Amino acid sequence: MNPRDIEQALDEHLGAVLSSRRTAEAPARGLAALSGKQVEFALHWTEVISKSNSEMAYQFVAHAPRALAALGVEGTRRWLLRALEIYDREGLYPGSAAFADIDSFARERRLQHVAVELSEVQAVLERFIRGLAGRELKIATAADGRARTDTETLFLPPRIHRFDRREMNYRLYKTTAALLWAQTRFGTFRRAAPDAPHLVEHIAALGEQVGDHGRVLRLFNLLETIRLTACFERELPGLFRDMQSFETAAAATPARDATWRHFTVRLQAADATIADTLAATASLYPLQLPWPAAFLYQGELDPAAAQAVSDARVDSERAQLQRLLGELLAAAQGAPGDGDADDEAEQRRFHLRDDPGQDGGIELQLDGEAVSLPPEAAAVLSSLLQDLQQLPEDWLTPAGDGEYPPGRSAEATDATVAPADSPGPGQDDAIFYDEWDFRRRSYRKNWCALRESPAHPLHDDFAALTVEKYRPLVADIRRHFEALRDHDKLLKAQSGGDDIDLDALITARADARAGTEMTSRVFTRKHKAERDLAVVFMVDVSGSTKGWINQAERESLILLCEALEILRDQYAIYAFSGMTRNRCEIYAVKTFAQAYDRDTRARISGLRPQDYTRMGVVIRHLSAQLGRVEARTRILITLSDGKPDDYDGYRGDYGIEDTRQALLEARHAGIHPFCITIDTAAGDYLPHMYGHASYVVVDEVRKLPLKVADIYRRLTS
């Protein structure tokens, strides 16, 4: 199409907004440079838009050539649709502004593909950081986008879209997290001794001495990053290369300056410490040199937060260390309570020695002899030594078997779980279990009191009705499960085995006499049934299961029992609920020893919703039960409708982490945990608790009875 034809077409559509000073000539010239197809596209949309508003149509056609060049046809279509949406919603002025702003639209579009969200990479980064070693660090979103650490949590921005390649954005996440890790690992916040000043005090002093506090902190951070980057170069060259890949010529200018270079070289030495960084800051600040640009992967420093967290941690770890040393000493001296041992204890001394042979190795000595530390003590000790270069001798004085160290921070759980009513062992028939506190990264000892009682039976026709209701399904289940059945048996006429099969041998000999070939299948072999498994079903009867869910759970149990009776798998069923850690209840519906009889059916029928869902303690209890059963494979199946939740703060991360820990313990004891849930949001937390392949979400409550037996069959075949 030639410009004249285009202009004519535009005149037709845009007539209302054209005048002698604003003709269609300029846009027509722009369009003429495009390909025929693009011109067609532009004219088509000009016509369409002009039906809504001619000025919008004019704005469109004026920007269309640039949009087509930047976004392509499909991108341009989205761009104009969005502008129309804005016009519809907000009016002409914002609408035409949206046409003009092609660049930011293009950038956003690109970002959708290349931005990396913290939520996508958090799990990987957490494991990565834990693998790098040192103290365990959590990762959390920094709402304000400022990457920093308080020495216990790494705060990272919610998303990174700095580069237009996804891979580079991810790399920036990784290196940013690694640098924050390095601050805690390579001593940015470390002090010589407990009474030495914190970093925040050093910075404040420097600020008073030489100038602006904020600028001092900025310079210090920059220099410290240089020091830490050199640590990476020595220890983790792969990460160092990743860091280098961001760097451009920006850092080059001041490096040419001799003074600057002098300090940089000092900071990059293997023995450089935080004192060198402070010295360099003090010397360089007054010189008024231009500073190089900040490193991309360098976060911000928050020494005040680090001080608060570190003080609290050091206190609690000191108490913990002394308690553990007390235990260690008691163990070293044999039985506690021995009169002589107490006298001796006062003379025995722990002593800390740096073990130069090993990387960061520390050796604890008792009266000059090396002691091998249990993992918990080693972790506490190495965490303390990350905060303090040296521990005062009296910190190594063992404490008696004292109280559990106080929580570091007044968090909701600690406040609501009043220690006043802490369960005293041996009150009644309660069994006490530890509970995992993820904030302390240790167990609360004997925290939960659990009582086991038989479930309340309700003798009615519920079981019969259920079997009747699902009659076709029951038949189906029976048939499928029959196929899985297996017995111990003696296999005859085998080609190899434990003993000789005399019948087969006689036949074979007779055959040989008769001149035919003698078979070699003359042995007997014991075939042991492969299905040697025990399973416990742990049924959630918390308040939230009221109504349909409870009905579906009971029906599922009936169908399941019908199926399991065919297989002769060993199984037990327990329902659980409770309120607070002092009243965790577990109801035995069917123990391993009990048969599936009238009474069991009555107990299933009688299950009713109770209170809350404290899962960890129940898992621990049932794992112990399972451990006592003899079977090759042991399975713990949870039937649940939601997250762990209890009245006294057992919710959110606390509940999930304790449950996860209990499941890890179970796995460690050789039990396979599995979860069947009807919580459709379970994808958010179950993979973390049970692992990716160990749960099933049944999305409709009514389907639960149909599914449970089938899930079990697939799980065990």
Site string for other proteins, 239-278 (x = CB under 8 A): x--x------------------------------------
**Could you give the CA distance from residue 541 to residue 549 in angstroms, rounded to a whole number?**
9
**Could you give the CA distance from residue 349 to residue 71 in angstroms, rounded to a whole number?**
74
Which residue intervals of 584-647 are DSSP H helices? Answer: 598-605, 615-627
Burial of 578 (0-12, 13-18, 19+ CB in 10 A): buried
Burial of 403 (0-12, 13-18, 19+ CB in 10 A): exposed
Q: Which stretch binds other proteins (CB under 8 A): 13-21, 233-241, 292-300, 607-615?
A: 233-241
Cβ closest to other proteins, residue 239 vs residue 430 = 239
Site membership for other proteins, residue 378 (CB under 8 A): no
* Residue 664 CB, nearest approach to other proteins (Å): 7
Site membership for other proteins, residue 119 (CB under 8 A): no
**Could you give the CA distance from residue 471 to residue 477 in angstroms, rounded to a whole number?**
10
Q: Which stretch binds other proteins (CB under 8 A): 81-89, 207-215, 356-364, 480-488?
A: 356-364
Residues 622-641 within binding reach of other proteins (CB under 8 A): 627, 630-632, 634
Cβ closest to other proteins, residue 127 vs residue 489 = 127
* Residue 616 CB, nearest approach to other proteins (Å): 16
Q: Which residues, at least 6 apart from 319, have a Cβ–Cβ distance to it below 8 Å?
A: 399, 402, 405, 406
Q: Which stretch binds other proteins (CB under 8 A): 25-33, 40-48, 128-136, 253-261?
A: 128-136
Site string for other proteins, 506-545 (x = CB under 8 A): ---x--x-----x-x-x---x-x-----------------
- Each as own residue / partner, the long-range contacts of residues 431-437 (CB below 8 Å, 24 or more positions apart, any chain) are 431/621, 433/616, 433/617, 433/620, 433/621, 434/620, 435/581, 435/616, 435/617, 435/658, 436/616, 436/657, 436/658, 436/661, 436/662, 437/413, 437/654, 437/658
Member of 97, 117, 128, 332 binding other proteins (CB under 8 A): 128
Nearest to 447 by CA among 436, 458, 460, 461: 436
Site string for other proteins, 638-677 (x = CB under 8 A): --------------------------x--xxxxx------
* Residue 190 CB, nearest approach to other proteins (Å): 20
Strand order in the sheet with 148-149: 138-141, 153-156, 148-149
**Could you give the CA distance from residue 450 to residue 358 in angstroms, rounded to a whole number?**
45
Cβ closest to other proteins, residue 36 vs residue 131 = 131
Nearest to 172 by CA among 291, 268, 295: 295
Cβ closest to other proteins, residue 128 vs residue 246 = 128
Cβ closest to other proteins, residue 604 vs residue 671 = 671
Residue whose structure tokens are 């740096």: 354
Site membership for other proteins, residue 362 (CB under 8 A): no
446: left (phi over 0), alpha (psi -120 to 50) or beta: left
Member of 83, 86, 125, 552 binding other proteins (CB under 8 A): 125
Site membership for other proteins, residue 127 (CB under 8 A): yes
Residue whose structure tokens are 């104009």: 80
Site membership for other proteins, residue 135 (CB under 8 A): no
* Residue 521 CB, nearest approach to other proteins (Å): 10
* Residue 500 CB, nearest approach to other proteins (Å): 6
Residue 145 structure tokens:
């986008």
The strand pair at 153-156 and 138-141 is best described as: parallel
Cβ closest to other proteins, residue 236 vs residue 293 = 236
Q: Which stretch binds other proteins (CB under 8 A): 340-348, 492-500, 586-594, 613-621?
A: 492-500
Nearest to 688 by CA among 715, 664, 712, 717: 664
Site membership for other proteins, residue 174 (CB under 8 A): yes
Site membership for other proteins, residue 499 (CB under 8 A): yes
Member of 271, 340, 343, 359 binding other proteins (CB under 8 A): 359
Q: Which residues, at least 6 apart from 717, have a Cβ–Cβ distance to it below 8 Å?
A: 484
**Could you give the CA distance from residue 318 to residue 126 in angstroms, rounded to a whole number?**
26
Residues that bind other proteins (CB under 8 A): 123-128, 130-133, 174, 178, 236-239, 242, 357-359, 498-500, 505, 509, 512, 518, 520, 522, 526, 528, 627, 630-632, 634, 664, 667-671, 691-692
